[in-house]
Structure 1
């Protein structure tokens, strides 16, 4: 099929589907869009900063714009030059009405969330954004009316709305007089929820990074790290967390007795709703105004202030999501400490150079992630497992034990001989011992040929003592390491110990030669 034929087919429409005349379609849209255009006319007549987004107004906007968008899509308006802008404005009206709905919900529910304090005034910022979005809805409605007139939709003689969409509600709440629900092992669910929140927090670098972006760099964040897809996935996971709480914890005796649990629910909920707003704003930017992916129908003649839209996305939605995420982390760590079940875990010492930088940091990050106190016991000495430096100190004890074991092994393979030997003979003895122990899998060689020190054969003591000292020197310089069956015992919260066990089973993130090893999925938060 050549280009001319393709163009002709595109003009006709999809295969097997006939065309509808512009006049017939315009009459259809005029009849079906009249309720929405009456609302738009009412909004256009008001000052942009005088549009309160009440539930009755938002409900009607979402209903009518959603139905009209579906109708326009059914007839392919998005791909039609005459109707594409009308369809884009319809989608924008629905999009910002939905954003207004979530903002209004947050504003109403804020006292019930009992959120931990953050640096900025979240309540004031929410009121400000709600007012701004009300103005955006009015502006989009005004442009929709103008575009309707341009495409031939009847906009004269629009009836005055009999309702003002105000919402006058009496104060107060119904009495809380139902008994507590009885569920299964709620305590286990609580710890699972707190753990999942911490895992989500560790995987939400997108929010922390975006919260620090200066305004002049907002646009450069698309599509990486910010995109509608990433935000939608994160939104889903926080919504799932909220649902899990409502199913297994809400209304139970444990929720009644632990005042921190409703606060945890509040943090999960407000982050979920903020991410809903962020997702819709990212969708609007990517779909309609982005220079890279936006549809020309709105990109070339935008109706919404892009700077204000991006400020709501970054400086409000993602910035406050990040702030409440941090507060939720502290809350969850406290919950896990209260519900902690202590245990003991014996695991091998890291095979590559013991608790050097990588293993020590990974273990400490697991402990810090949960906020629990965990200790490591080695030969009766206790080390703070949450401190990489303290774990690193354990290498002194580990290496001392390795040297004692090494002396016994050398004595086994090379019985001591009295008297001094020439340096060459000592060197030969050392190499014989090293290669024999390496062949038995008791020493791992990282460097060959081995670079012996200048002290060989010149130290005081026997051949055995010289050999032990020289091999210890080779170990200290990283040319080899000694394999032993040394173990340590971690003591503390069983949830922390389970992750330490998973880490130990993966060689503490490295193989016997110090190369990176992929961590298991359960430890995905350590990859951040």
Structure 2
């Protein structure tokens, strides 16, 4: 049943009220160098979300008069969400524990926030004009800067809660979280790059290879790691452990960077990407592309967000290995060598995969030699020595978790038959496939 225009407009007045107060505040504080606060972004996110839901509920997506107003509310919501996360990164930079102080990252982070903020501020007058065109009531009472104080501070309350009773359980939790983090880093490595992309390269990447779905998946994985850390490591005490604080910082900053990226990619893919629309949709799409420069938005998403996400994941990898080595249980096993063909490519690769899967250090001892079991090249080098010296057994020592699986692998002749063909692996080693 169709709702009358006047009846709908009365409701739109109500659901637009707080939203338009935020819009007017943005217009009144249109300064290129004044960084807005998280409290403002929170108000804008809430008000725009409420309005967008109201408009969607009443079918504004399919109405010529209201579709543009609806798209503008979505624009403000997603940009405000990304700005909120970016502001959080800037607020927390002084509290993150990293080995180096990256001044370039800090400057680029600030520039990124100002750019997103500028998108919001250039869109605000368009929203107000569209509201007036639709006859929506414009609030006369305005927000002032005192309504949106900044919460950033360099001070903290005294840390006086620690529970150091269950150190063994904490070690297990740290091992599990660190191993999961290494697995995440390995999966994310497909996005790694070291020189920033140009405009053409970015367009080839997005959305074909880099898109909202992929990035939000990693965002959720990081959120889960951070939650596990906060639930199972922090209550047992970690403030005195600098490496654990650094690990938590790596989780957090990449998580928030991906939050920014996910919102920007969503906005680009849903609202800016050049897809064939009906005329009314296409016209709105063209207006939004003029307001929010898609090249600038994608440059932020890729050359800032994706670049630094990998940068911090990469720097966190070495730290995570160090933490694992400090917390893993160590043992050793003596096993036979691969029959007939020795440590050629396949057995060496499977051994290295097992060790890298768990992340803890494992060495292989062959005669007087000691070799890195995570390195295929090292294992093949050992294979030459083993063949030359006619060694029949080797010792693996290190991470007990890896050794359990290495023993299973050794018991099936390292995954191959006597003529060197691969054989099915047991279910315990299914992750090697």
TM-score by length of 2: 0.86
Q: Does 1:491 align with 2:390?
A: no
Secondary structure of 1:376's aligned partner:
strand
User: Which residue is 1:158 aligned to?
Assistant: 140
Report if the CA contact (8 A) 1:41-1:145 is conserved.
yes
Q: 1:136 to 1:344 in 2, by over 3 A?
A: same
Larger CA Rg, structure 1 vs 2: 1
Alignment check: 8 A CA contact 1:51 1:134 kept: no
**Following the alignment from structure 1 to structure 2, what is the Cα–Cα distance between the partners of residues 338 and 66?**
46
Q: d(CA) in 1 for partners of 2:164 and 2:23?
A: 46
Q: Does residue 364 in structure 1 map to residue 352 in structure 2?
A: yes
1:101 has 2:84 as partner: yes
Structure 2 residue 312 is the aligned partner of structure 1 residue 324:
yes
Summarize the alignment of residues 331-480 of structure 1 with structure 2, pairs less than 5 Å apart: 331-347=319-335, 349-350=337-338, 353-364=341-352, 366-367=354-355, 372-378=360-366, 382-396=370-384
1:435-459 CA deviation, whole Å, 9 max, x = no partner? xxxxxxxxxxxxxxxxxxxxxxxxx
Q: CA deviation at 1:75?
A: 0.5
In 2, distance between residues paired with 1:291 and 1:60? 31
SS state at 1:218 partner: helix
Post-superposition CA distance 1:258-298 (Å, at most 9, x none): 22111111101111111111111111111111124886364
Residues 490 and 330 (structure 1 numbering): CA distance in 2 closer, same or farther, change over 3 Å? same
Gaps of 5+ in 2: none
Q: 1:397 to 1:166 in 2, by over 3 A?
A: closer
Name the counterpart of 2:295: 307
* Paired residue secondary structure (1:239): helix
Give the aligned CA root-mean-square deviation in angstroms.
3.2
Displacement, 1:337? 1.5
In 2, Cα distance between equivalents of 1:216 and 1:118? 32
Gaps of 5+ in 1: 1-17, 405-485
**Contact between 1:364 and 1:388, CA under 8 Å: does it hold in 2?**
yes
Q: How many correspondences in the alignment? A: 425
* Structure 2 Cα separation of the partners of residues 321 and 112 of structure 1: 18
- Counterpart of 1:353 in 2: which secondary structure? coil
Q: Distance in 1 between matches of 2:162 and 2:306?
A: 38
CA offset digits 1:324-372 (Å, max 9, x no partner): 1011111111111222322123455446733212332443355466665
Change (3 A) 1:374 1:71: same
CA 1:521–1:496 in 2, change beyond 3 Å: closer, same or farther?
closer
User: Corresponding residue for 1:61?
Assistant: 44
**Pair 109,119 (structure 1): closer, same or farther in 2 beyond 3 Å:** closer
State the SS of the aligned residue for 1:300.
Answer: helix
Give the match's secondary structure for 2:306.
Answer: helix
Does residue 116 of structure 1 match 2:99? yes
Change (3 A) 1:293 1:494: farther
Aligned to 1:167: 149
Q: Which moved more, 1:199-208 or 1:38-47?
A: 38-47
Matched, 1:187 2:93: no
* Whole-angstrom distance in 2 between the partners of 1:507 and 1:110: 51
- Residue of structure 2 in register with 1:207 after alignment: 191
Q: Cα 1:501–1:103, aligned 2, differ >3 Å: closer, same or farther?
A: farther
Query: What's the TM-score once normalised by structure 1's chain length?
Result: 0.72
Q: Per-residue deviation at 1:65?
A: 0.8
Q: After TM superposition, list the pairs within 5 Å mapping 1:139-288 onto structure 2.
A: 139-155=122-138, 158-167=140-149, 172-180=155-163, 182-183=165-166, 185-209=169-193, 213-253=197-237, 255-288=238-271
Cα distance in 1 between the residues matched to 2:312 and 2:292 = 28
- Offset at 1:150? 3.1
What is the alpha-carbon distance in structure 2 between the residues aligned to residue 219 and residue 343 of structure 1?
Answer: 50
Q: Which of 124, 130, 133 does residue 116 from structure 2 map onto?
A: 133
Contact between 1:227 and 1:282, CA under 8 Å: does it hold in 2? yes
What's the CA shift for 1:202? 0.6
Q: Is the 8 A contact 1:350 1:507 kept in 2?
A: yes
Cα distance change, pair 166–32 in 1 and its aligned pair in 2 (3 A): closer
Given that 2:171 and 2:328 are in contact with CA atoms closer than 8 Å, whether structure 1 keeps it comes out as: no
Secondary structure of the residue that 2:234 maps to in structure 1?
coil
Partner Cα distance (1:272, 1:518) in 2: 36
Checking the alignment, whether the CA contact within 8 Å between 1:228 and 1:282 is kept in structure 2 is yes
Q: Which has the higher helix share?
A: 2
Task: Supply the distance in 1 between the matched residues of 2:409 and 2:127 (Cα, whole angstroms).
Answer: 58
